[in-house]
Chains A and B, each alone.
Chain A
Amino acid sequence: MDFDLNEDQSLLRDSVERLAADLYPSLESRQARLKAPLGFPTEGWAAFSELGVTGLPFSDEDGGLGGGPVETMLVMEAVGRNLVVEPLLASLVLGSTALRLGGSAAQKARLVPDLVSGDLRLTLAHTERQSRYDLADVATTARRSGDGFVLSGAKSVVPNADAAGLMVVSARVSGERRDAQGIGLFLVPADAAGVAIEAYPTQDGGRAAEVSFSEVPLPGDAALGDPEAGLPLLERVVEHGIAGLAAEAVGSMDALHTLTVEYLKTRKQFGVSVGSFQALQHRAVDMLIQLEQARSMALYAAMMVDTPDAAARAAALSAVKVQINKACRYVGQEAVQLHGGIGMTLEYIGAHHFKRLAMIEYQLGDTAHHLRRITQDANGLLAA
């Protein structure tokens, strides 16, 4: 047990934090970045690539930087702290995890260099209008046709789909709508014939899209792994996504808590700083407790996300999301309240943290969903 970063990790953290702070020095600069056609300027993505971030999780032999869950955590914490809108969750965490864990050597050889260089971005398209957070609820079909597949169906709220060269799409090759078996993950070029992307902004400054697939022909090597047994892979991708979101949430909550405490020290009412009032002090402390508990869970996520025991891993990542979701809500709401009126305005950066934190709750499983997953297991086990 050792909570210290090694030298390489410290360097990575410092350089990513510096880059993110340079790209996002102020609320105005962020709002300007959001106006780019993809919701972020492509030179922002290029800057992360130059730092090696976009190829971070792939092994050295696959041409990546060999980063693990701790490295991804450090990147995502910087993303959260600075409210970065470049699609690191979609591409670095979700899409790349699918390729890394499910892709063949040939698929990786074809794609990793472009991910590293920043020429290619990925995303994960798995949510459907009826599925909510159930990964096995897949109505989109991939019909076998010759050596390949034909994809039909639609996906909802696909993160940064309009900025992705390839989408990782869950689709059913066989079985009924909610069967665990018969689901595959497929690499689908965004510009393939029959793919329609209706992109829109999200509540938190990001972008997403409704994506439909109308008889999209796919070659046999579009499948990541076994096209009829892809659910475990999808679960792992989402687990990595939860670990990434946890770190992002911690970064954002940390920034928001710092803002709140500074505000309490500077805002004067009744002739004194409002931070001298015990009622407000105790609420700021309770925010800190939530933040630190969330930080512990982001670390726990990094520790558990590559554990081979699938049941222990699933329970752990669900526990992480439960704790993170509660913390996001608590810290976000309290920050707005402690700021008073200024916390309500879009002119204040804290308000944008509040909105991002509020939306993290509903990505990759809300609190009720993950509590159900934990309690489904007869033992309700959380492994040490």
Chain B
Amino acid sequence: MDLRFTDEEIAFRDEVRTFCRTEIPAEIRKKVSEGRSLSKDDYVTSQRILNAKGWAVPHWPQEFGGRDWTPIQRYIYTEELFQAAVPLPQQFNCYMFGPVLATFGRQDQKERFLPRAANLDDWWCQGFSEPGAGSDLASLKTKAVRDGDHYVVDGQKTWTTLGQHADWIFCLVRTDFEAKKQRGISFLLIDMKSPGITVRPILTLEGRHEVNEVFFDSVRVPVENLVGEENKGWDYAKFLLANERTGIARIGLTKERIARIKRLAREMPAGPGTMWDDPAFRSRVAEVEVELKALEITQMRVAAKQGRADSVEPDPASSLLKIRGSQLQQAATELLVELAGPFALAAPARGAGANNLPGGFDWVDAAAPSYFNNRKVSIYGGSNEIQHNVIAKGILGL
């Protein structure tokens, strides 16, 4: 047992760290750090820089741009991206669609879609949730009926993150209406330009357009866009959700937020000094940091174990990471609002020439929106209550 990073791992960390901080444009990283919206161009620019370096999809098969990294290297890479406030490679392309297609797709599908997904030439979004199918995802109703060489898709998806940018959507659709609910589901790739698709924005708490409803009205989809076998889509979805959960602890993201809070606290006047001189505030920051350190080690333990297993079954331990990771992400955003204090209320219009910064602070108006927005992290990706069920069944045998 040696719990320190090896010299090679430290050298790798330094390489990623330097690259992130020198090659990814500072204005993009600043937006990420402040929790402000990124434009589609921001995502594309950042991802293409990573992809040119061969670092957009390191966890994919090498044939499609993957790197033969150890689990610890993959962990280091992700953490460094977070800590440098680099946008992660577009998550639906890289962590969901890509791994599913690489594992279950046909060779011609892989060749057609994977290189474009890695370079963000195509923007993929996820069509899983429906108005009546949230935590109980398998009760989804969007149907695909075979008509010659096509499926005809009718129904509605919701919470489609950044669907307004999307070129393609990977969807779970019902193809067998007699089978038990998990059995009759298929995994279908649909061109967002297809006639019959309508995208309607949903504004979330902080007022941003991050998610959408997507309506399908007799949308014709070529049968060749089916992934794997018909009616096996639930297996692919489970594989995808387990992948989603692994990265969901976002320890580096919370670390970056805490580091920023410490920085800003030293500049926020309070009493005779600053907020950083307030032992009560510092103690609350320390408590989050301590728990985060523990989660970081837990994450590495899970990563080291996953590196060994060939199984595609989700490790229930990843549910633990999701629960605690989401709680800590939220705790950090709460600390930020607390730090903004009375200025947290202000929501001035921002724009060129604006001279209305609350108290003169350029970050305080983004604090509450970031807190509002982060309420989602204990809901998406399988709500924390669902993760509790997964652990109760999968680890405790209850």
Query: Could you say which residues of chain B place their CB within 8 Å of the CB of A9?
Result: 1
Most interface-central of A288, A289, A380 (chain B CB within 10 A): A289
Chain B residue with Cβ nearest A257: B396
Q: What residues on A are CB-neighbors of B262 within 8 Å?
A: 379-380
Best-surrounded residue of A278, A302, A319 (most CB of chain B within 10 A) = A319
Residue B388, interface by CB 8 Å = yes
A286 contact set on B, CB distance < 8 A = 388
User: Do A261 and B388 have beta carbons less than 8 Å apart?
Assistant: no
Q: B287–A371 contact, CB under 8 A? A: yes
Which residue of A3, A276, A293, A322 is within 8 Å of B3 (Cβ)?
A: A3
| B294 adjacent to A265 (CB under 8 Å) | no
Interface assignment of A6: CB less than 8 Å from any CB of chain B = yes
Contact B279 A265 (CB under 8 A): no
Known contacts A3-B304, A282-B388: A264-B398 contact under CB 8 Å: yes
Q: Is B62 an interface residue (CB 8 A)?
A: no
**Complex CA distance for A300 and B320, rounded to whole angstroms:** 19
Asked if A282 and B286 make an inter-chain contact with CB atoms under 8 angstroms apart, the answer reads no
| B360-398 at interface with A (beta carbon < 8 Å) | 385, 388-389, 391-392, 395-398
Residues of chain A with a CB closer than 8 A to B1's CB: 2-6, 9, 70, 302
A276 touches B285 (CB 8 A): no
Q: Determine whether the beta carbon of B289 is less than 8 Å from that of A382.
A: yes
**Complex Cα–Cα for A184 and B158 (A):** 68
Seed contacts A2-B2, A70-B1, A380-B282; 20 additional CB < 8 Å A-B pairs: A1-B72, A261-B396, A261-B398, A264-B398, A278-B389, A281-B389, A281-B392, A284-B396, A288-B396, A293-B294, A295-B298, A300-B294, A300-B297, A303-B3, A319-B290, A323-B290, A380-B262, A382-B289, A382-B290, A382-B293
Question: Which A residues are closer than 8 A to B by beta carbons?
Answer: 1-6, 9, 70, 261, 264-265, 275-276, 278, 281-282, 284-286, 288-289, 292-297, 299-300, 302-303, 319, 322-323, 371-372, 374-375, 379-380, 382
* Known contacts A292-B298, A300-B294: A380-B289 contact under CB 8 Å: yes
> Complex Cα distance A263/B133, Å?
35
When distances are taken between beta carbons in the complex, the residues of chain B under 8 Å from A299 are: 3, 297, 301
Which one of B4-12, B148-156, B179-187, B207-215 contacts A?
B4-12
CA gap between A70 and B4 in the complex, in Å: 13
Q: Which residues on A sit within 8 Å (CB–CB) of B287?
A: 322, 371
Contact A371-B283, Cβ < 8 Å, known A275-B398, A281-B398, A300-B297: yes
- Cα A302 to Cα B4 in complex, Å, equals 11
B391 in contact with A265 (CB, 8 Å): no
Assembly CA distance A382 to B262 (angstroms): 13
Are A375's CB and B290's CB within 8 A? no
Q: A1-B2, A3-B1, A375-B282 are in contact. Are A323 and B398 (CB under 8 A)?
A: no
Contacts of B291 on A, CB cut-off 8 Å? Answer: 293, 323
Which single member of B72, B290, B304 contacts A374 (CB below 8 Å)?
B290
User: Does residue B300 face the partner (Cβ distance < 8 Å to A)?
Assistant: yes
The minimal Cβ–Cβ distance linking B317 to chain A, given in whole angstroms, is 8
- B contact residues around A284 at 8 Å (CB): 392, 396, 398
Asked whether B323 is an interface residue with its Cβ less than 8 Å from the other chain, the reply is yes
Contact flag A1-B304 (CB < 8 Å), given A9-B1, A281-B392: yes
* CB pair B4 A323 closer than 8 Å: no
A282 touching B298 in the complex, CB below 8 Å, given contacts A1-B9, A275-B398: no
From the candidates A5, A294, A303, name the one contacting B294 in the complex (CB within 8 A).
A294
Contact A288 B290, beta carbon cutoff 8 Å:
no
Q: Which residues of A contact B298 (CB under 8 A)?
A: 292-293, 295-296
